[in-house]
Amino acid sequence: MMLVHYVRLEMLRLLRDPGYLLMTLVSPLTMYLVFTNLDLGGGTSSDAAVYSMVGMAGFGAIGAVMTNGVSIAEDKPLGWIRQLRLLPLGPSQVVVGRAVCAMVAALPPILAVCLAGGLVDGVSLSPGRWIAVILLLWAGISPLAVLGVGFGYLLTAQKAQMAGLAFYMGLSLLGGLWFPIRLMPSWVADIARVTPVNRYGELSWKVAGGHAPTLVGVGVLAAWAAAFTVFSVIAYRRAAQTV
């Protein structure tokens, strides 16, 4: 019950951030509408629209969870960690709670871009595929949400913003959210396949195309989730020791 109240409190604080709307809604929507005029699907305009829809929805979701990390870093000088230490919450619960907040914040850009895909570009999927695509875009962001939490507890606000932006832009590009990795040099594509961002996008690209996610892709994403969780718990403990 304490964890539920904590998540509710953090959600209220996070969604008051004036930069949230610009970072997580305007940017991915604009890029989606631009990218659908390019042949990113490697086939019909419908292929390009589906590919870009998933990619830009994921791009917006990553922006949301990285914004959460900056918010955490900004709270540290204000004594928020000292307040958390008074609550009966362990480090893993704090990390999970903030990651859940970030996941909730990631839902609006996912829904907005998918809505644009259906209404503006006529993306046509069965109801079951629509639900699966949206759920995978939302659930699959969890490892990256945990990473954003770690950045927030480990770094200052300025450094967390720089790290989040570098990850947000760099790995979104490398991971294929902007254009397919098959268009990259082979050695770059090989690197891209082991990134969490590529495997995150792959979940919904596969389902949108009528295929099940690959076990390898799910395994790679799960491995990153475990590593990011360990990193974030250590980062929180380190931050708690310095206050």
Closest to 147 measured CA to CA, from 234, 55, 60:
234
**What does the alpha-carbon distance between residue 27 and residue 214 come to, in Å, rounded to a whole number?**
30
**What does the alpha-carbon distance between residue 77 and residue 80 come to, in Å, rounded to a whole number?**
8
pLDDT of residue 177: 92
Task: Name the one residue in this structure whose structure tokens are 């362990």.
Answer: 90
Work out how many domains the chain is built from and give that number: 1
Task: Name the one residue in this structure whose structure tokens are 């955490």.
Answer: 72
**Paired tokens of 5:** 């109240």
pLDDT of residue 18: 60
**Paired tokens of 75:** 């709270």
Q: What is the full per-residue pLDDT of the chain (243 aa) written as tens digits?
A: 555 666 666 666 666 666 666 667 777 888 787 777 655 544 446 677 888 899 999 999 998 888 888 888 887 777 766 776 666 667 788 788 889 888 988 888 999 999 988 888 888 899 999 999 999 999 999 999 999 999 999 999 899 989 988 988 999 999 999 889 998 999 999 999 999 999 999 999 999 989 999 999 999 999 999 999 999 999 988 887 775
pLDDT of residue 70: 82
CB distance 99 to 145 below 8 Å:
yes
pLDDT of residue 29: 82
Helix pair 45-75, 91-119: axis angle to 10 deg: 150
Q: Supply angle C-alpha 188, 163, 150, rounded to 5.
A: 110
Domain holding 80, by residue range, is 2-241
Please enumerate in sequence order all residues whose Cβ is within 8 A of that of 195, keeping only pairs 6 or more positions apart, or say none.
Answer: 171, 174, 175
